[in-house]
Amino acid sequence: MVQPHETDVQAKTLYAAERKVDWAKYGGDENLEELEAVWVYVQKLINRKSFARRYKTTHARFSVPEKAKPFKLVDYNGKGYIMGSRYRMPTRGDAEGLRIQATSHGGYATRDLIALNKWARQKYIVIHELAHVVDSNENGWGNKPWHQAHGWQFCLIYLELTGLAFGDIAKKELRDSFRNEGVRFLRPRGARNQCPWDPNPNRKWVTHRGA
């Protein structure tokens, strides 16, 4: 999972809330094991019309044709990874798309990368990391006091993706767990309730349908 920034005050409580959800009831604990399987799982979600309506920037950047197959590539460190379908420079093996890569420590995400070890390839963790990808593409990277890596913006996206992936009951259980652990997942009402350092407290955040 994304390494907590010094202002990422919700990270520990969010992880605690996440662990208390019975993911097995929804198939969320299924381990996809191989990078190719993770890629296929993520792409099917990104390609859905319901995803595209909510997260237009992420969909436009990473969606691929329905029958597309992932490319197996190697980075400059010799690490293998899986990526999307549109080559820029085929002679060099470069491609565009969301990178799915192995790591030796848990999982983490950036604007265009999801890295997971074997254990972290459980579906609910994949969805957690995809929420970071969506948040950073739609709202910018979460490293500010008013937009933290696990701030309310990320939490709303995570809840929405949980509903898309596992259904409304799973979404409700995660939301209830957030409440029980004190995780903030709603936008503060009114500009005065925003972080005082936010240079644009009335900005529009992309989080979920109807936001």
Contact 132, 154 (CB under 8 A): yes
Tens digit of each residue's pLDDT (9 = 90 or more) over 3-16: 444 578 899 999 99
Q: Residue 69 above 50 pLDDT?
A: yes
Q: Looking at residues 79-93, what average pLDDT do you find?
A: 54
Structure tokens at 150: 């696990």
Contact 118, 107 (CB under 8 A): no
Q: Residue 35 above 70 pLDDT?
A: yes
- Confirm whether pTM is higher than 0.85: yes
Tens digit of each residue's pLDDT (9 = 90 or more) over 114-154: 999 999 999 999 999 999 999 999 999 888 888 999 999 99
CA end-to-end span of the chain, whole Å?
Answer: 25
Which pLDDT value is given to residue 2? 44
pLDDT over 70 for what percent of the chain?
82
